[in-house]
Structure 1
Amino acid sequence: MDMQPPRHITERLQHIRSGDNGPFSTAGLIKTIIWSICYFFFYFGQQVAELLAPIFLILGIGWYLLPHIVSAITTSAASADPQAKDIMNHVAGTLPTHLQIAGHYVTATSLIFDGFLLMALAAIGATLSALTARQM
């Protein structure tokens, strides 16, 4: 009775005899290193985007709503003291509609838009990191 080893063992023995080390070959190692670096950058980008997106959204929505809230308070306080009404009008007039930070023009709607773009970047990063994890 002739006993043959299982097929996966004979294939592995053929790889060893041919000099190919499978996943431990130089090409396999280089491929793993490249995919690991890609995975790191995609996952890092995803984490940064997930951290900044809610901050941008909250700041943008708050900045957008603040002038509306202050003007609503000012108009509802018509029967209030004239000095208090003047102070509230002054505060409503001093709220900025835009900021220029280091040469960048920032508005409330641009912060909201950037928050949504960062959420999209986080989704793309999650997708790409999952795909690179499969390649490793």
Structure 2
Amino acid sequence: METPSRPGSERLLSSSQDRISPNRDWAFARTALWAACYFAFYFVQQIAELLAPLLLVIGIGWGALPHVMQAVTVGAAGADPQARDVMAHVASAIPTQMTIAGHLLSPSSLIFDGFMLMALAAAGATLAAVSARNM
């Protein structure tokens, strides 16, 4: 048996569908926005996690190299005077700072930049988690 349709029931159904459609569009736009934010934060986190240890190792190595060379030179004091002079020359040739493309680099600045990249990676991970939760 077919149920009789009421003229107002189609009207009510159509208006409720019209109300859902903008919410669905807003939900899609909101999800797309949070997905883009998640991508950006996660990308920054990955780059920072890649570069932070590299800068730390280079900075620590560069800072320790003159001390190591000086220890080797002092340890070789009883060796051949010519070899001692060569090692002293090499130790004095290690720069304390360099300018590359207008940026001043030193061992302490590389170490500081490495720690700042670690902080940036932590912030990126936190913001990516917040973005994922809101998605």
How far off is 1:21 after superposition?
A: 3.7
Query: 4+ runs of 1 displaced by more than 6 Å?
Result: none
Counterpart position of 2:113: 114
Q: Which has the larger radius of gyration?
A: 2
Residues 129 and 23 of structure 1, relative CA distance in 2, 3 Å threshold? farther
Counterpart position of 2:43: 44
Give the TM-score, by structure 1 length: 0.85
Task: For 2:133 and 2:21, locate their aligned partners in 1 and report how far apart those are by CA, in whole Å.
Answer: 17
Letter in 2 for 1:78: A
Counterpart position of 2:55: 56
Task: Indicate the percent of aligned positions where both proteins have the same amino acid.
Answer: 55
> Which whole-Å deviations, capped at 9, do the CAs of 1:73-96 have from their partners, x for residues lacking one?
101111010000000010011001
Give the TM-score, by structure 2 length: 0.85
Where structure 1 has 5 or more consecutive residues not aligned to the other structure, the ranges are: 1-14
User: How many pairs align?
Assistant: 123
How far off is 1:22 after superposition?
A: 7.9
Q: Secondary structure at the match of 1:79?
A: coil
Counterpart position of 1:77: 76
Counterpart position of 1:131: 130
Where structure 2 has 5 or more consecutive residues not aligned to the other structure, the ranges are: 1-12
Superposition RMSD in Å = 2.0
